[in-house]
Amino acid sequence: MLVVEKNNLSYEIERMVKEYGSDRQSLLQILQAVQKKYKHISDFAQQEIARMMNIHPVEVYSVISFYSFLSTEPKGRNIVRLCKTIACDMAGKDAVETAVKRELGISFGETTIDQRVSLEYTNCLGMCDEGPAMLINEKVYTHLNPEMAVNILNEIK
């Protein structure tokens, strides 16, 4: 990472720590803000957050690894999460999964080369009677079939 990028990241994290506070309860909010802006939380960002909050970097990392929506690796501009829990599974999740993978040319856990989409599984989205369900960024799509899922994917930029 270039020195200028590091300085900008440090400055931005400092601003977030000022905004949300430097006590432990603010850690998750700060991590969410960094994730939202940079699409991941790099090693350097983790160290800077720990330094500014006066906590150990391992504490920062353990929170990141607990929450599936936080990541240490760069993600695509859009995060597509397909529910893998039983009700959606029984409602036809496998067919949607196959269509989505074929359309994007990647597997779950991967990101398209153009950084447009990252594919992930998620646990229950609370829409069990409307499955299969899929979350794209913050929007939930329900009653999916393979064709619908592919059409939705083709609409996201």
User: Which positions lie near ligand FES, rule CB under 6 A?
Assistant: 83, 85, 87-88, 124-128, 131, 133
Q: How far is the CB of 37 from ligand FES (least distance, A)?
A: 28
108 DSSP 8-state letter: T
Closer Cβ to ligand FES, 63 or 88, answer by number: 88
Q: Is the dihedral of CA 47, 53, 59, 60 positive or negative?
A: negative
Q: How far is the CB of 110 from ligand FES (least distance, A)?
A: 21
CB 139 within 8 A of CB 155: no
Closer Cβ to ligand FES, 9 or 79, answer by number: 79
Q: How far is the CB of 123 from ligand FES (least distance, A)?
A: 8
Closer Cβ to ligand FES, 106 or 128, answer by number: 128
The span from the CA of 45 to the CA of 33, in Å, is: 12
Residue that the structure tokens 């599984």 belong to: 121
Q: Identify which of 144, 119, 122, 128 has the alpha carbon closest to the alpha carbon of residue 88.
A: 128
Q: How far is the CB of 146 from ligand FES (least distance, A)?
A: 16
Closer Cβ to ligand FES, 31 or 134, answer by number: 134
